[in-house]
Amino acid sequence: MYRLRLFLFAGICTTLTQSVAASEPELTVVAGGGMATYAPASLLAMPAATNVTIPGDVAYKRDMSFRALPVAALLGGVAPDETIRFVANDGYVANLAAAPLLARGDGAVAYLAIETPDAPWPPLRAGESATAGPFYLVWVRPELGGIQSGQWPYQIARIESVAPLVKRYPVLAPAPGLSAQDPIRHGFAAYEKHCSACHTLNLGGDATIGPDLNVPYNPTEYLRVDALRRLIRDPQSLRRWQDAKMPRFPVANLSDRELTDLLAYLRHMADRKVPLTPTK
């Protein structure tokens, strides 16, 4: 996974951090018409719990083994056309299509890796204590399902079935008259997949880790196309500072064609701004 995490509590509020760390982590699942809360031990006690080995794990960038549960075991009653939202502790929100999460068999299969207090995972970064736990979405054979790095949310607190992003935030939609083949539509799909986990656009979206990408100004209005392409490919190649949180999008994750379509969508949305009330 490519996020850097904000640990705002560290140093500011040691007591709170300690009490949070001491209490058992919980996972809330709201799906298939039911709601349940699980502790790691209760998930690992399920019959489907198993060990998975992940070559080149996305969060740890090396081979890893985890105790895990097929995600499908938690999504009883969920239909393949639903959207499943994974909410992480720091506000990162991945909206994933249910179909690949429900798949079992020989293709890409999603597992919820579960960290237990007696077998803690290594820290994500040297010198820090945070791990990818307590719950982390990993994939076996991801290449068979075209699964990309944004589909490996970690530090998960909540998994819930929701209406698709654009149903909940129609302000994200491009003009209704465009054909299904229009590059702007493809660009919108790329935006949903790669950018909506952190940004809003027209103030619509689940996460607010990064700035809104349309109001008051759309980046296509103040960055040259080549600079914007470069920023998306590698933000630090345009502007560098220690605490930057936007990840790189190399060609392996976002093809040149997808990037071109994404820019077409962003440019298109500059003509579809929501009115903005003045800030104080």
Q: How far is the CB of 212 from ligand HEC (least distance, A)?
A: 9
Closest CB to ligand HEC among residues 224, 280: 224
Closest CB to ligand HEC among residues 94, 98: 94
Note the maximum CA span of the chain: 56
Phi, psi at residue 148, to the nearest 5°?
A: -110, 175
Q: Sign of the CA dihedral 223, 225, 230, 231?
A: positive
Nearest CA to 68 out of 24, 110, 122 is that of 110
CA distance 107 to 185: 28
Closest CB to ligand HEC among residues 199, 268: 199
Closest CB to ligand HEC among residues 197, 264: 197
Q: How far is the CB of 268 from ligand HEC (least distance, A)?
A: 13
Closest CB to ligand HEC among residues 67, 199: 199
Q: How far is the CB of 176 from ligand HEC (least distance, A)?
A: 23
Which residues of the chain form contacts with ligand HEC (CB under 6 A)?
A: 3, 194-195, 197-199, 209-211, 213, 219, 231-232, 235, 244-247, 249, 262
Closest CB to ligand HEC among residues 92, 139: 92
CA distances from 111 to 68, 100, 179 (A): 6, 11, 36
CA distance 237 to 234: 6
Q: How far is the CB of 145 from ligand HEC (least distance, A)?
A: 20
Contact 147, 137 (CB under 8 A): no
Q: How far is the CB of 243 from ligand HEC (least distance, A)?
A: 7
Q: How far is the CB of 83 from ligand HEC (least distance, A)?
A: 17
Whether cis (ω within 30° of 0) applies to the bond prior to 250 is: no
CA distance 157 to 179: 38
